[in-house]
Amino acid sequence: MNRPAPPPTDDELHALVDGQLAPDRWSAVEDAVAHDPALAARVAAWRAQRDALRRLHGELLDEPVPAPLMSALDRNQPRRARQGSWMRWGGVAAGVLVAFAAGWLGNAQWSMHRTAAAQLARAPAMREFVHDASIAHAVYAPEKRHPVEVAASEQQHLVQWLSKRLDRPLKVPDLAAMGYTLVGGRLLPGESGARAQFMFEDAAGERVTLYIGTLDSRAAAGTAASRETAFRFASDGPVPSFYWVDQGFGFAVAGKLPRDILLKLATLAYRDLS
């Protein structure tokens, strides 16, 4: 007898808002929110709060930590400094956001930002990566005659070529369960080296792309020591995407699709590529 899925915890709801919920809990938590007006209202309020902060002071995430402050931290906390500059960066930036929120939002719930410190160090580079994935989709997906460099009929050659250029064994995920088949792929330039794009299409001609590439040191700093498996949702570019990081490589599944469909496609890709 199958047991019902456990109700989402506050930590899981916060992770959902931040786009960091574990892949195996995405569907269950989103389903619970969709069927519980009280949970839906809480999640909507947290998302509105998050978006308001980003609009008002989002530029702070891209600003370097002032040199005098970094020097003071190095002098006063040498042991913590040796643990890695990304931890100091995230702590300072998170402190700025918390101070700002205290003045503007009073007693607003800030547990949703407990994981923000570790993300801030790589946020600008990750935003660039995901934005590049969105732009690449918007440029090539509408193409009728030349959507890819190498067609699906040469899949083995395509995978070998892109694997060699990215210096990582690649594979094409199987998205047939969602009705999508491979169109082909292409090589693209990136901030820190070559990137690959695989394009898929369903029977109606709707296209989705998988964008893969190495991350520079800013983006990989928070994931060098461990494998990160949480999905994050991005909607800043021309098309939305779900993305994740795995051992210094970024992956983004992008397309003009409803969020739940895009999540299912990203989950299939993730499972095949893990």
Give the pLDDT of residue 106: 41
d(C-alpha 28, C-alpha 17), whole Å: 14
Domains of the chain: 1-120 (no CATH), 122-273 (3.30.200.100)
Query: Which of 12-21, 93-102, 173-182, 265-274 tops mean pLDDT?
Result: 173-182
Condensed to tens digits (0 to 9), the pLDDT of residues 151-202 reads 999 999 999 999 999 999 999 999 999 999 999 999 999 887 899 999 999 9
Contacts of 211 by beta carbon, 8 Å cutoff, 6+ apart: 132, 133, 136, 137, 188, 195, 196, 197, 241, 250, 251, 252, 253, 254
Give the pLDDT of residue 121: 39
Which one has a higher pLDDT value, 89 or 153? Answer: 153
Taking alpha carbons only, the member of 98, 116, 85 closest to residue 57 is: 98
d(C-alpha 133, C-alpha 52), whole Å: 25
273, 173 Cβ separation under 8 angstroms: yes
Query: Which of 33-37, 83-87, 91-95 tops mean pLDDT?
Result: 33-37
Condensed to tens digits (0 to 9), the pLDDT of residues 204-232 reads 999 999 999 988 655 555 444 434 556 78
Give the pLDDT of residue 43: 79
138, 238 Cβ separation under 8 angstroms: yes
In the predicted model, is pLDDT for residue 113 greater than 50?
Answer: no
In the predicted model, is pLDDT for residue 233 greater than 70?
Answer: yes
Mean pLDDT, rounded, for 52-69: 58
d(C-alpha 117, C-alpha 170), whole Å: 31
Give the pLDDT of residue 45: 76
pTM of the predicted protein model: 0.58
Contacts of 143 by beta carbon, 8 Å cutoff, 6+ apart: none
Mean pLDDT, rounded, for 54-79: 58
Phi, psi of 238 (to 5 degrees): -60, -30
Taking alpha carbons only, the member of 20, 217, 31, 27 closest to residue 125 is: 217
